[in-house]
Amino acid sequence: MKTVLKTFAAALLLGVAAMGVAKADPVKIGVAAEPYPPFTSPDASGKWVGWEIDFIDAVCAEEKLDCVITPVAWDGIIPALTTKKIDVIASSMSITAERQKTIDFSDKYYNTPTAIIGPKDQKFGPAPADLKGKVVGVQVSTVHAVYAKKHFTEAAEIKEYQTQDEANNDLAAGRLDAVQADSIALGEFLKSDQGKACCDLKGMVAPDDEVLGPGVGAGVRKEDTELKDKINAGIKAIRANGKYDEISKKYFDFDIYGGPTQSN
């Protein structure tokens, strides 16, 4: 009987100990549900791939975080974070003062220019005077929508779309005169059969740090300081150990970390 009791007690202690070292809850990484190549896109099997997926996977591995990619509609991604449906936004979101009223950000992890594209048979530039009388497409709830409304409204009509793909498709179909977005994302469109057939680069917009911000960061809840610190430590580590450059060279032939203005 004593042996049985000792065995039971030992098993109970092991169970309690196991509870003490129970696996932490997964960290839900929110990405915009629509494709945004080369940063985030689902492959043929539905698995999310791209530079930003590889980047956040490397950060999570460095900090031993159990991260799960969680697609969310772009225009609801900040509410999804604040209501704890996701824990981190890693979806090419620009760090801006307006967004920082609601959420916090990690350190910058990339920064690329903002561009205007349009039909090949139309010659114009990215300045307000160049866009006079034109219809300019932008994705809703992005820094590009804010920028276009601030700088182009007096000259052009601004049309907002739920996804970047919708804006690009309307440009290709002749329903828009121009589109503003991140230069890398637009570059991917211009490489596509549809983009090559219809459009070309018109130039980079003038800087506006207040609107476009200093770069892209990972969005976190203001109270999640420990998670923010881990993400920052992970970014610093992969920048130092060469992993960041290793990932970037798979997608780009330039330094994506730098640049004057950037993405969403």
Q: Is pLDDT of 230 > 90? A: yes
Give me the mean pLDDT over the 19-27 stretch.
66
Q: Is pLDDT of 252 > 60? A: yes
- 3-state class (DSSP) for residue 169: helix
**pLDDT given for residue 50 in this prediction:** 98
95-106 per-position pLDDT tens digit: 999 999 999 999
148-170 per-position pLDDT tens digit: 999 999 999 999 999 999 999 99
DSSP 22: P
pLDDT band of 24, cuts 50, 70, 90: confident
76-89 per-position pLDDT tens digit: 999 999 999 999 99
**pLDDT given for residue 69 in this prediction:** 98
- Please indicate whether residue 2 or residue 176 has the higher confidence score (pLDDT): 176
Measured CA angle at 107 (ends 103, 110), to 5 deg = 110
Q: Is pLDDT of 261 > 60? A: no
Q: Is pLDDT of 174 > 90? A: yes
Q: What is the overall mean pLDDT for the chain?
A: 91
Is residue 249 classed exposed, middle or buried when 0-12, 13-18 and 19+ CB atoms within 10 A define those classes? exposed
Give me the mean pLDDT over the 176-192 stretch.
96
Q: What is the pTM of this model?
A: 0.82
Give me the mean pLDDT over the 48-71 stretch.
98
Q: Which domains does the chain have, with CATH numbers?
A: 23-111+214-249 (3.40.190.10), 114-212 (3.40.190.10)
Alpha-helical runs (H) found in the chain: 2-20, 51-62, 77-82, 143-151, 164-172, 183-191, 193-198, 209-212, 225-241, 243-249
